[in-house]
Amino acid sequence: MRERLRRFAGNVWAVAYRDATGLRHDSAFIGMIAAQPVMMLLLFGLALSNEPANVPWGVLDQSRSTVSRRLVAEIEATGYFVPPRSVASYDEGRDLLERGQAVALVVIPRDFHREVLRGAPELQVLLDGADPLTAARVGGYIGQVARAFDPDPRSVAARSADRAALRTDDRALAPRPRFWFNPALRDRDFFLAVIAGMLLTNLCFSASSLGIVGERESGTYEATLALPTTPVEIVLGKLLPFVGISYYVLTFAVVMAGVLFGVWPRGSWLALAVLTLPFVLASLSVGVLVSALVRTSAQAVFLTVFVILPSFVLSGVMFPYQLMPSGIRQLGSVLPLRWYQIGLRRLVLRGGDLGDVVVPLVALTLLFGFFLALVRVRMKPRLG
């Protein structure tokens, strides 16, 4: 019995030593193992934040008085907002919100100065409720500044000493927030609007990342290269079957979100179909690039997960990308899911049409061309 256990342990140790020796020489795998915790620490330590930063907003100042300009200046002075965009009408302000160029629209009524003197001023704040977390936080900050605002210019020094203190007298501003596109601020709508993008990202990355490396391992890659085709033709031929599957996944996700939870696209279904094509092609190209870079299927799976996590975090599908620090926020622009989720929320929640997703459409097309060029460089056109 003891000899059998010794033989069993020796065999296990021999196999473990052989595999460990192989892994030790697999520099690509070791590099990914070392880089993944660093990436996660950076993502969750630096990129994710619930505190607004560089928030775009608009102002409809119907009063055009000294008091109204001071109020706008105090909101901007909080450090959470970029300089506001001045609009001339409600329609122009709504257009900013629909196109995602503003998170909030502050409407200062025409009789604001007179109401301040009477001691009963009001302020209307229109917020983009498609992103409940950002809308609630931004509305809270604007409301805090409004309630602490003192229209008497002689008390500027006192306000500067304690800007965060809220006024309780009857002259304090009464902000009236109104949320558009998602009045109930349901987080469910926020996530379901882009669930198709998350599913397609996972499908495209996972399916296409095993294509070339799988052929290498099975020994058919050389036969593929021997065909009278160019590398680009080979790649596109590998991508097309997954395009049809992707549209099935898109239809399933959209219909089930509508049937089960009542979240139907408010905008153009045609625009949704058009926008999906370059996104799917760009995502599949990323997967093919991964497959062309690695040597084994295990490496492809590991690197695919390595790419999927930043896509979910930095794109804005889980956390508002507007709240991310500068630099990291721009880094997410190279991810296809960033532009697709922008287009999805414009179509599903804001009721947009094809004209509202032109910028995401162009960006996804350029990303597809860029990743396809990288694959072309990486793939050898012929053996030898």
Q: Which residues make up the CATH 3.40.1710.10 domain(s) of the chain?
A: 57-180
SS3 helix, strand, coil % of the chain, rounded to 5? 65, 5, 25
CA distance 104 to 178: 10
Fold of 57-180: abc type-2 transporter like fold (3.40.1710)
**How does residue 155 score in pLDDT terms, banded at 50, 70 and 90?**
very low
Report whether pLDDT(269) > 90.
yes
Contacts of 105 (CB under 8 A, 6+ apart): 57, 58, 59, 60, 87, 93, 94, 96, 97, 125, 126, 127
Write the pLDDT tens digit of every residue in 289-311: 888 888 778 778 878 887 888 88
The predicted structure's pLDDT at residue 273: 95
Stated pTM of the model: 0.65
**How does residue 180 score in pLDDT terms, banded at 50, 70 and 90?**
low
DSSP letter for 159, please: H
Write the pLDDT tens digit of every residue in 339-366: 999 999 889 988 889 998 999 999 999 9
Write the pLDDT tens digit of every residue in 244-267: 888 988 998 898 888 888 889 989
**How does residue 153 score in pLDDT terms, banded at 50, 70 and 90?**
low
Report whether pLDDT(165) > 50.
no
